[in-house]
Amino acid sequence: MHLYPTDMAPTIVGASSALVILMIAAHLLSWYRSRIPRLRLLTGSGPQRAALRLVLAPVVREFLLLLERAGQDVRAIVLVPTLSGSDGESLASEIEQLGGSSAFIIRLAHRVGSTVRQPDEVAGALSEDLLYLYRQAVSATVVRQTGSAVAAHTVASPKPSGRNGLVTVPRHAVQNEAEETVVAFRPNPLGRNNNQGS
């Protein structure tokens, strides 16, 4: 028998609908997976966790998108109370590669030694780790590094002086124009103002 083009129509429709259903399922799976929270905070009080989520959210959002495009998969970012290395020394963070694949788990320490780290310090450590993974994924080479010109200044807090416990505020060397102009007040030529007390 001879095949006509209309004989293949049910097969083509079935194959196309199966392809569409497969693509929709893959899209829904990736949407669901991106909604799974990758940031897990296992330590800290409620306000500390809120501050950490607020500071870490932009870092996670920006870097994970870049890492996914580079083919790296960060399965979880976990904040734990402390981390220690194989020698027992305190660690700020560690990156664990799962089975030699491109899947990673990042652990961050909330305390290093006896000091609780501020949210900005934790975010800095996380961004350094994620940047390291990105550089490894794209085989980037650092061409130039510039040292920071900002020196750490330690300002001693002024001690209260005087009977009322007020602190004298140091004056800055640079003054604005209004502070440089001296205006001498002359007595009123009409005499004394009645609203002034004696």
DSSP characters for 88-141?
S-B-SEEEEESTTSSEEEEEEESEETTEEPPHHHHHHHHHHHHHHHHHHHHT--
pLDDT tens for each residue of 141-152 = 777 777 766 545
Residue 57 forms part of a structural domain: yes
Task: Say if 59 falls within a structural domain.
Answer: yes
Q: What is the arithmetic mean of pLDDT over 177-194?
A: 61
pLDDT score for 171: 54
Q: Is residue 163 part of a domain?
A: no
Domain ranges, residue 85: 37-139
Ramachandran region, residue 31 (left: φ > 0; alpha: ψ -120 to 50; beta: rest): alpha
Q: Name the strands in the sheet holding 39-41, side by side, starting at the edge strand that comes first in the sequence.
A: 39-41, 73-80, 103-109, 93-97
pTM across the whole model: 0.53
Average pLDDT over residues 89-108: 86
**Residue 157 belongs to some domain of the structure:** no
Tell me which residue of 59, 68, 62 sits closest to 125, measured CA to CA. 59
Residue 29 located in a structural domain: no
Number of domains in the chain: 1
What CA–CA distance (Å, rounded) separates 113 from 133? Answer: 26
**What's the pLDDT band for 135 if we cut at 50, 70, 90?**
confident
Q: Are 102 and 74 in contact (CB under 8 A)?
A: no
Domain annotation covers residue 145 = no
β pairing state of 111-112 and 115-116: antiparallel
Q: Which amino acid makes up residue 108?
A: L
Flag whether 105 is in a domain.
Answer: yes
pLDDT on residue 18: 94
For residue 173, is it within any domain?
no
List, as own/partner pairs, every contact residues 131-139 make where C-beta atoms lie below 8 angstroms and the sequence separation is at least 24, other chains included: 131/63, 132/95, 133/67, 133/72, 133/74, 133/95, 133/104, 134/63, 134/66, 134/67, 134/70, 134/72, 137/67, 137/70, 137/71, 137/72, 137/102, 138/70
Q: Determine the average pLDDT of the residues in 98-107.
A: 86
**Residue 84 has what DSSP assignment?**
B
